[in-house]
Chains A and B, each alone.
Chain A
Amino acid sequence: MGSTSAENRNTGGIGRRDLIKRSAALGLISVPTMSFLSACASSDSGSEDKAKTGKKTKKNPLGVNETAALSVVIFDGGFGTKYATDANAEYKKAYPKVTIDFHKTQKIQSELQPKFNGGTPPDLIDNSGAQQMDMGVLVGKKQLTDLTPLLDAPSIDDPAKKVRDTLRPGIVEMGQFDGDPVWIMYYAYTVYGVWYSQTALEKLDSTYPEDWDAMLALCAKAKKKGIAGWTYAGKYPYYLPFSLYPFIAKIGGREVLDKIDNLEPNAWKDPAVKSAFEAYYELYKKGYILKGTPGIDHIQSQTAWAKGKALFIPNGSWVENESAKVIPADFNLAVSGPSGLDSSDKMPFGTIWASGGEPFIVPAKANNPAGGMEQLRIMLSEASSKNFTSQVKSLTAFNGGTDGIELTPGLKSGVAALDKAGDNVVNPRLQDWYVKLQKEQIGVSGLGEMMAGRLTPAEAIKKIQGYADAAAKDQSIKHYKHQ
């Protein structure tokens, strides 16, 4: 090998090097990332030959075809998939002649997108995880089956009750986008809030602070012992809203959050938002945030918190399962609604954010939609719900179903927090309506920057309002409103 070129010896014609060069130049075209996109290009070959529905009977209220195959795709994440295969077995017990095609994956979107495009989606999908398909788009493009028949069907445990009457508050509404149809059945029920170790607070002779002065006092006390007050998933600052949004609602009432969800002009300029931002910013200014927090991810922050380096972390009830390995045995995990600002708050202490998780959908073009819904009906029975709760330490959409099983500390505390909240459960919708706005713009560029001390609360509010206004104007995304 040398740097001589072949064409000098080979008079005339295309030299080896020229050829290589030209093909290299051509090869460049292949490098940018665009070609993979059209690999999943659309081909509209939707099959209209759906499985015939069976006869509707008392035992089979949805009219499931007793011989039609059922295909199920489950997200294989923090909850695993055993609960789903258990439910499959129940289905099989009820309809022995069917075959069930079960598939688990972490890549929901990349595996299912071509199937939606090709018109051959499965009958039931757990559309969850980092690769979740955008629900707003699926609904807007009429890709989902209305689940109202499921909600109006009698429940498995008590035929006198409809399925909708056995569900926790907010579940049905969360599945709606605008109008009556229910497109999504959230199966898990997540409690969001401020998570802490009861033991750690006891060591500081303290209890969970109910207002912000008490919170600051507790953080000051902890700081003297070398413990930070708060930490959060700095790489994903959109965990902050888990405690911040209900805090805003507590200060200014739930209308403030509704206005924010509806992308109303100046919604973020509400005084309640300002007070809440200033309160959180004070945590930064007084040095109560664990050092280095803006540079760590959710696992690293949860680990630091479990090791006792920080008292509080905004998170969801999955943290108990996710951090099970690093949470010490005597940790006594607990969750609380956010501390309020002061006695002028509009909602009582205990106001909390709780809402559905693990969204299940039945595609509009599914071959066997009745089967998909029937599987959900089975999963919403008391027995299946208990099975899920005891397996993965999370509540389900089924209201109740915790009697007689041993609850872990976090789960017990979550149930207690829900009891305490009563009707004061808020459910901000930004994270399922406007994913980009919530995660990247409000979360990373607004809250993340403010909590890292690079924006003042006023600047953060101005910036976030700008993003919200842009989203409201953007015609390429579908807009939703609270009914």
Chain B
Amino acid sequence: MQHGKYRFIVGFLVAPLALYAIFVIWPFIQAIYYSFTDWTGLSPDFKMVGFANYTRMFDDDIFWKSLRHSLVFALLLPLVTLSLALFFAFMLNVGGRRRKGAAITGVRGSGFYKIAYFFPQVLSIAIVALLFQFAYNPNDGVINGTLQAIGLGSVQPDWLGDPNLALWCVMAVLLWSTVGFFVVLFSAGMASIPKDFYEAALLDGASRFTTFFKITLPLLWDTVQSGWVYMGILSLGAEAFAAVQIMTVGPGGPDYSTTVLPLYVYQSAFRDANAAYATTIGVALLVVTLLFAAIVMRLGRRERLEY
């Protein structure tokens, strides 16, 4: 039965792996190569410059700032998003009061909530960012309008125009737009946890709090871990880039308060015509992403539960 298993697997994997090598791995190798040149991106001639781009990068304040912001994104955003999503999913599936004889049920109207949570997911991040850009408008944006309406007319922050708030404003938007996806993901996970567990816990008089930490979370751990990696990558890469590029002052400001690594790659390549330096920052981003994934995988390793 085991005989020839590897040949079988390899046979199926050859084509996708070849495509992967050509379209993913090879560009990476090329990019690393270009990080040792002075290629502008606007003309085919360039020469090797050794580690010049790397020395430049290590002396570059803006690089360190964007690295710091990217790390804040990658550490904080998954934590908050997943915690919120777990809480919501738990309430939608398990947290309800007993009614109609069903032992385990979500809060009233949970079907509607699920759709409402998932809704932002169907909008592209570009649209979401644009919408929130209007909401954050200090003059006639909906947020300051609301503050005024509830009698907080004296509190009228500049939101994206304030370097102390801008980064948090962007994060809040990413949180808003991604949490629904994880609510649905975790709901699906929770639905597959046998109901008897919960019923047993209820019979023993366990509170919702205990039920969550002793049953739901351990059984959902693998899903949470994948979600963590996925969310981390979103916040290191594409989503953070789009939101910062569209929403913030400059973009990347005010005063570099929201620059993130992918934005800096983009600006170096397509504004400053310094594609070689952009690939150098890209290499740094690659390292950060790999480290992040490795750490999450290692920290998340634990014994599997069977049911």
Interface residues, chain A, CB within 8 Å of chain B?
1-5, 8, 12-14, 17, 21, 24-26, 28-44, 46, 109-110, 113, 116-119, 131, 133-134, 136-138, 141-143, 234-237, 290-297, 300, 304, 309, 435-436, 439-440, 443-445, 448-449, 452, 454, 476-477
The answer, among B31, B43, B162, for a CB contact under 8 Å with A34, is B31
Considering the chains assembled together, what is the distance between the CA atoms of A2 and B191 in angstroms?
Answer: 9
In the complex, per-residue mask of B277-302: 1 if CB is within 8 Å of any chain A CB, else 0: 11100110110011001000100000
Residue contact A294 to B162, C-beta cutoff 8 Å: yes
Chain B hits for A141, CB < 8 A: 40, 42-43, 45
Considering the chains assembled together, what is the distance between the CA atoms of A452 and B220 in angstroms?
Answer: 48
Count of inter-chain pairs, beta carbons less than 8 A? 232
Give residues of chain B (242-298) contacting chain A, Cβ–Cβ below 8 Å.
248-256, 262, 265-267, 269-275, 277-279, 282-283, 285-286, 289-290, 293, 297
Q: Which 5 A-B pairs have the closest CB atoms?
A: A34-B282, A292-B138, A295-B161, A294-B161, A141-B43
Given A37-B278, A444-B250, do A110 and B256 touch, yes or no (CB 8 Å)?
A: no
Considering the chains assembled together, what is the distance between the CA atoms of A445 and B254 in angstroms?
Answer: 7
Given A8-B306, A444-B254, A445-B255, do A37 and B44 touch, yes or no (CB 8 Å)?
A: no
Given A4-B307, A34-B28, A292-B161, do A444 and B249 touch, yes or no (CB 8 Å)?
A: yes
A-B contacts besides A44-B44, A296-B137, 7 pairs, CB < 8 Å: A3-B220, A29-B289, A32-B289, A33-B262, A236-B250, A294-B158, A440-B253
The answer, among B2, B43, B44, B256, for a CB contact under 8 Å with A43, is B44
In the complex, per-residue mask of B8-38: 1 if CB is within 8 Å of any chain A CB, else 0: 0100000000001000110110110010001
The answer, among A31, A42, A300, for a CB contact under 8 Å with B39, is A42
Task: Pick out which of these stretches binds chain A: B176-184, B206-214, B231-239.
Answer: B231-239
Task: Pick out which of these stretches binds chain A: B86-94, B101-109, B121-129, B221-229.
Answer: B221-229
Residue contact B188 to A34, C-beta cutoff 8 Å: no
Given A31-B237, A32-B285, A35-B31, do A42 and B250 touch, yes or no (CB 8 Å)?
A: no
Residue contact B38 to A37, C-beta cutoff 8 Å: no
Chain A hits for B2, CB < 8 A: 12-13
Give residues of chain B (161-197) contacting chain A, Cβ–Cβ below 8 Å.
161-163, 188-189, 192-193
- Pairs A–B under 8 Å by Cβ, sample size 8: A3-B304, A8-B306, A34-B28, A38-B34, A291-B138, A292-B156, A445-B254, A452-B162
CB distance from A184 to the nearest CB of B (A): 14
Residue contact B305 to A31, C-beta cutoff 8 Å: no
Given A34-B285, A236-B250, do A4 and B137 touch, yes or no (CB 8 Å)?
A: no
Residue contact A133 to B220, C-beta cutoff 8 Å: no
Residue contact A37 to B34, C-beta cutoff 8 Å: yes
The closest CB in chain B to the CB of A138 belongs to: B42
Given A25-B297, A295-B249, do A37 and B160 touch, yes or no (CB 8 Å)?
A: no
Residue contact A42 to B189, C-beta cutoff 8 Å: no
CB distance from B58 to the nearest CB of A (A): 15
Residue contact A295 to B160, C-beta cutoff 8 Å: yes
Considering the chains assembled together, what is the distance between the CA atoms of A460 and B88 in angstroms?
Answer: 47
The closest CB in chain B to the CB of A296 belongs to: B137
Chain A hits for B139, CB < 8 A: 290-292, 296, 300, 304, 309
Chain B hits for A131, CB < 8 A: 270
Chain B hits for A440, CB < 8 A: 250, 252-253, 267
Residue contact A143 to B42, C-beta cutoff 8 Å: yes
Chain A hits for B162, CB < 8 A: 294-295, 452
Considering the chains assembled together, what is the distance between the CA atoms of A303 and B79 in angstroms?
Answer: 39
Chain B hits for A436, CB < 8 A: 267, 271-272
Chain B hits for A14, CB < 8 A: 9
Residue contact B282 to A32, C-beta cutoff 8 Å: yes
The closest CB in chain A to the CB of B191 belongs to: A1
The closest CB in chain B to the CB of A21 belongs to: B297
Residue contact A37 to B279, C-beta cutoff 8 Å: yes
Chain A hits for B293, CB < 8 A: 25, 28
Considering the chains assembled together, what is the distance between the CA atoms of A236 and B253 in angstroms?
Answer: 10
Residue contact B262 to A118, C-beta cutoff 8 Å: no
Chain B hits for A445, CB < 8 A: 253-256
The closest CB in chain A to the CB of B292 belongs to: A28
Considering the chains assembled together, what is the distance between the CA atoms of A477 and B271 in angstroms?
Answer: 12
Residue contact A34 to B272, C-beta cutoff 8 Å: no
Chain A hits for B66, CB < 8 A: none
Considering the chains assembled together, what is the distance between the CA atoms of A292 and B282 in angstroms?
Answer: 35
The closest CB in chain B to the CB of A131 belongs to: B270
Chain B hits for A309, CB < 8 A: 139
Given A33-B265, A137-B273, do A113 and B42 touch, yes or no (CB 8 Å)?
A: yes
Residue contact B256 to A295, C-beta cutoff 8 Å: no
Considering the chains assembled together, what is the distance between the CA atoms of A30 and B25 in angstroms?
Answer: 8
Residue contact B137 to A295, C-beta cutoff 8 Å: yes
CB distance from B213 to the nearest CB of A (A): 16
Chain B hits for A40, CB < 8 A: 41
Residue contact B42 to A133, C-beta cutoff 8 Å: yes
Considering the chains assembled together, what is the distance between the CA atoms of A448 and B250 in angstroms?
Answer: 9
The closest CB in chain A to the CB of B248 belongs to: A235
Chain B hits for A8, CB < 8 A: 304, 306
Chain A hits for B306, CB < 8 A: 4, 8
The closest CB in chain A to the CB of B52 belongs to: A476
Considering the chains assembled together, what is the distance between the CA atoms of A131 and B192 in angstroms?
Answer: 49
Chain B hits for A35, CB < 8 A: 24, 27-28, 31
Residue contact A3 to B265, C-beta cutoff 8 Å: no
CB distance from B139 to the nearest CB of A (A): 4
Chain B hits for A439, CB < 8 A: 250
Considering the chains assembled together, what is the distance between the CA atoms of A131 and B270 in angstroms?
Answer: 7
Chain A hits for B307, CB < 8 A: 2, 4
The answer, among A3, A38, A292, for a CB contact under 8 Å with B137, is A292
Considering the chains assembled together, what is the distance between the CA atoms of A2 and B218 in angstroms?
Answer: 12
CB distance from A141 to the nearest CB of B (A): 4
Residue contact B28 to A29, C-beta cutoff 8 Å: yes
Give the interface centre of B144, B249, B277, B290 by most chain A CB atoms within 10 Å: B249
B159 an interface residue at 8 Å Cβ cutoff? yes
Chain A hits for B282, CB < 8 A: 32-34, 37
Chain A hits for B251, CB < 8 A: 235
Residue contact A3 to B222, C-beta cutoff 8 Å: yes
B56 an interface residue at 8 Å Cβ cutoff? yes
The answer, among A1, A29, A110, A295, for a CB contact under 8 Å with B25, is A29
B219 an interface residue at 8 Å Cβ cutoff? yes
Chain B hits for A294, CB < 8 A: 138, 158, 161-162, 249, 254
